[in-house]
Amino acid sequence: MWYQTELTLRPRRRGFHLITRDVEQVLEPLSQMHIGLLHIFIQHTSASLTINENADPTVRNDFEQVFNRLVPENAPYYEHTLEGSDDLPAHIKASLLGPALTIPIRDGQLALGTWQGIYLCEHRDHGGSRRLVLTLQGQAL
C-alpha cells in the first residue's frame, strides 16, 4: 500500500515551527495502516525538517539563536552573497538539519515519542510558502 501527496505550508517567519498537525491532517490513509513508514521531503534548499521537543516554545527560540551563531551571516569569506545575507547561511543550515524525515507508523498512527514533534525549519527571512512531498507506505490493518 502506497500513498503520495503534496502539502504546501503557508509562509512562516524565520525560525522553527511545529507542523505535526499540518502533516497528519493530509494523511487520511494513515489510520488504515498497521505497520509502515511516512517519508516527508521538503523541495527547497533554504528550509529544512527536523524532529524535536513539542511542548516548550523556548526550545524553538533557542534553536534559532544557536543556528544563527553556528552559521553566521556576512562571513567575509562567503562567495555566494547575491541573494542576501540570509541565503548562504540558510543553505548550510538546511543541510545540517536535512531535507527529509522518515517516521515509523504503527496501528494507524505516527510512532513518535511523547515529546517529539515535526519542525519546519525556515532559514530565510522571507521564505514564502514551502512545498512538502509526503509518501506513505506499509501494510494495511
Chain residues in the site for a second copy (CB under 8 A)? 2-4, 35-37, 39, 41-45, 50-53, 56, 58-59, 61-63, 65-66, 70-71, 75, 77-80, 88, 91-92, 94-104, 106, 111-116, 119, 131, 133, 135, 137-139
Query: Closest distance between a second copy and the C-beta of residue 25, in Å?
Result: 19
Residue with cell 498537525: 21
Query: Closest distance between a second copy and the C-beta of residue 110, in Å?
Result: 10
By beta-carbon proximity to a second copy, the closer residue of 12 and 96 is: 96
Query: Closest distance between a second copy and the C-beta of residue 63, in Å?
Result: 7
By beta-carbon proximity to a second copy, the closer residue of 13 and 34 is: 34
By beta-carbon proximity to a second copy, the closer residue of 32 and 135 is: 135
By beta-carbon proximity to a second copy, the closer residue of 21 and 77 is: 77
For every residue of the chain, which 3-state class applies, written as one string?
CEEEEEEEECCCCCEEEECHHHHHHCCHHHHHEEEEEEEEEECCCCEEEEEEECCCHHHHHHHHHHHHHHCCCCCCCCCCCCCCCCHHHHHHHHHHHCCEEEEEEECCEECCCCCEEEEEEECCCCCCCEEEEEEEEEEEC
